[in-house]
Every structure is written in structure tokens, then in C-alpha cells.
Amino acid sequence: MFIWSKLSSTKWEDAWEERFHAAANTNLVISLLPGGKRIRVDVYCHRKENALAIQKQFGGSVRELKKENWAALSAKSLKPIHVRGRLIIAHTAEMAEQLRREHPDMQVLCIPGEMAFGTGEHATTSTCLRLLVDFAKNRNALPWDVLDLGCGTGILALAAKILGACKIDACDFDPAAITISKRNAQLNKVRGPRFFRQDVLTWKPARRYDLVLANIFHDVLTVSLEKIAQATAPGGTVIMSGILKEQLPACLDAGKKAGIRFDPPIIKGKWATAQGRV
């Protein structure tokens, strides 16, 4: 495992997130340095040549990490994420146990830093988590099921389960993401979500769900919205993200043509998340 590092001004944080958001075979960690004016950008890479390619383009430094320590090291720089007073995302087992003792009235989910997208820090994931918590609260104990397209670490699917979802199907194009999602399910002792490999572009909806989550690349999302609408039960909800602000109009237009009625989108930095109903 190799890590590329660079110091940067805080004003470039969104740009770094945009550059490495869901980049293949990398994991991004951004740490705010004392004083609040600078950040340290760390990108973890499986291969040395990937780290060197980033260095060639952006400068910075590259160093090797021991394979068994890289994930733990990245997790240490991540703070727990509190969502709507009901859910907390931790990044180590020790952190999760401490939070469960301190917050017995909240659900705690442990999602370590992994080579798959979704530990809760990125604007797209954090916004989806907030909307997911709101959706679960508004169900008022009515049963609900979920489809998670582009599950990454499994964070949204696992959060849905501990928030009360009855049935969860979750897929990703990357087989490593499926392995990581299943491992996170075991880590959190969560049973029920079904994780499987699927290319959204070739996916054909086999049933309908009360909630469809799609935090995926905007180009895949835009051409898949008709199928996403078909997979959503009448009156059901779609939460979609992974969209830059300038990409949002095309995504919304495609969704409206598919029959999705959207709420005002949520903008966080350079990223947008939209929720709608069928």
C-alpha cells in the first residue's frame, strides 16, 4: 500500500474531493490542520505506480505503508459522524463501542476506511444519510424496503437496516465493494442486506422498492433514471447523488421525463443531492 500526500489551502478542499471522488483503486482522506487554514490531502493507493502518477500531476510526496496498517491509520484521522440525532458513523471498532456506551439511544454503525467509496465524510454520502434518516422517521413504523445502487462500503444499505428497513438489495459494479460491504455487515452484526455485483447499465429491475438510493456517477445515473423510476413503488422515494452542481440540470430533466417529481435539490459545496417521488 502506498500513500500520496500534499498540503493544500482549505479553499481547494472541494476541488480535491471532486478529483478523487470514487476514483478507482484509491481512498481519499482530507485532514484539517491546526489553525484551520490548511488541509493535508492523503490518497491511499494499492499500487506504487498509481501514487507516482498522482505525484507527477500534482506534486506532493509518496511513501509506502505496511499493508496491515494503512486502513487503521486512515481511520484515525476520521471523526465520528452524527446524523440527525439518531445515527452515528464510527470508523474503528473501538470508537463504535465507546459511542454505543455514550449514546445508548442512538444507532451506531462502524464503517472503517476502505478501498471502496462511502465512509460518510463526502458531501454526497453525508447528505444521503441525512435523507435516509428522515425517510425512516417518516415511515412511522410502516414496513419499507430498499434498493441501493452503487453500495460502495455498504454504508447506506447497512444504515437502512439498523434504521428499520425490512428488505435491502444492494449492488455495485466493483467486486471489491461487495466483499467490503459483506465484511462491514459482519463487523456490525447486521443481517439481512443482500449484496451482489451488478452493472447498473445492464441492470433490469425485477421488482419495486419503497426507497431507491443511487449515489453513483452522474453519467450512469442520468441514463438509468427510467429504470430507477420503474424500480420505485408508486408513491415511493428516490434519493440520488454523486452529481456535481453543473451536472444537476441534466439529471433532473432525465428524472422528470421518467416520472420522478423532485423536491428542491440539496447543494453542499460542489455536490448536489436530489430527492423525489414516483
pLDDT tens digits for range 18-40: 777 656 567 788 887 877 788 98
CB atoms within 10 A of CB 88: 21
pLDDT value of residue 69: 47
pLDDT band at 183 (very low <50, low <70, confident <90, very high): very high
Q: How far apart are CA 233 and CA 188, in angstroms?
A: 29
Query: Span 78-85, mean pLDDT?
Result: 89
pLDDT band at 166 (very low <50, low <70, confident <90, very high): very high
Nearest to 217 by CA among 50, 21, 26, 27: 21
pLDDT in tens, 211-241: 999 999 888 999 999 999 999 999 999 999 9
pLDDT value of residue 10: 85
Q: What percent of the chain has pLDDT over 70?
A: 92
Q: What percent of the chain has pLDDT over 90?
A: 63
Residue 70 has pLDDT above 50, yes or no: no
pTM exceeds 0.95, yes or no: no
| Residue 61, beta-bridge partner list | 5
Q: How far apart are CA 237 and CA 278, in angstroms?
A: 7
CATH class of the region 128-277? alpha beta
pLDDT value of residue 253: 97
Nearest to 89 by CA among 184, 182, 195: 184
Which of 71-75, 87-91, 102-106, 137-141 has the weakest average pLDDT?
Answer: 71-75
Distance of CA 243 to the CA centre of its chain: 12
pLDDT in tens, 87-131: 999 988 999 999 999 999 999 999 987 655 677 888 899 999 999
Which overall architecture, per CATH, does domain 2-74 show?
Answer: 2-Layer Sandwich (3.30)
Nearest to 135 by CA among 115, 163, 107: 163
Start-end of CATH 3.30.70 domains in the chain: 2-74
pLDDT in tens, 124-134: 999 999 999 99
Residue with grid cell 440525532, as numbered in its chain: 85
Backbone angles phi and psi of 64, in degrees to 5: -95, 140
Residue 7 has pLDDT above 80, yes or no: yes
What residues contact 12, with CB distance under 8 A and at least 6 apart? 39
Start-end of CATH 3.40.50.150 domains in the chain: 128-277
